[in-house]
Amino acid sequence: MTSCSDSEHSLASEEDDFYIVEEILGHEYDDDGHIVFVVKWLGYSEDDCTCEPVENFEPGNEVLEKYCAEQNLLAVCRAKALQPIEPTQSVPVLSGTFGKRKSGFF
């Protein structure tokens, strides 16, 4: 499995864009003890995974909610970012600000 130490860290400070989360491969804790998720992006390989803090996810992100439920982390995730999912919401996205694509990666 890809880990945060192996992957690019969140690019959440450069440019406003949305990317579709395909899967969350795992979670870790950063140096400050905050949870970060190893995110596999739709249309990108596992080599392009990034580590994202829960704050970067859109409220109600179905992929994040499912992962948190499976890992018994719902209280942590909901305290930061999750809200009830609206029935019409169908595409899970991660929000944040991300850098421009570079050498095969966004």
CATH number (domain holding residue 90): 2.40.50.40
Residue 104 lies in a domain: no
- Is 102 part of a structural domain of the chain? no
To which H or E segment does residue 93 belong?
Answer: strand 93-97
- How many structural domains comprise the chain? 1
Q: Which domain holds residue 42?
A: 8-96
Query: How does pLDDT run across 36-52, given as a tens digit for each residue?
Result: 999 999 999 999 999 99
Residue 18 inside a domain? The answer is yes
Tens digit of each residue's pLDDT (9 = 90 or more) over 42-88:
999 999 999 999 888 888 889 999 999 999 998 877 776 544 444 44
- CA–CA dist 7, 31 (Å, integer): 16
Give whichever of 12-16, 55-59, 83-87, 96-100 has the largest mean pLDDT.
55-59
45: in domain: yes
Asked if residue 76 belongs to a domain, the reply is: yes
| Stated pTM of the model | 0.65
- 81: in domain: yes
Q: Which residues contact 7 (CB under 8 A, 6 or more apart)?
A: 38, 49, 50, 51
Q: Is residue 48 part of a domain?
A: yes
Report if residue 82 sits inside a domain.
yes
**Quick check: 103 pLDDT over 50?**
no
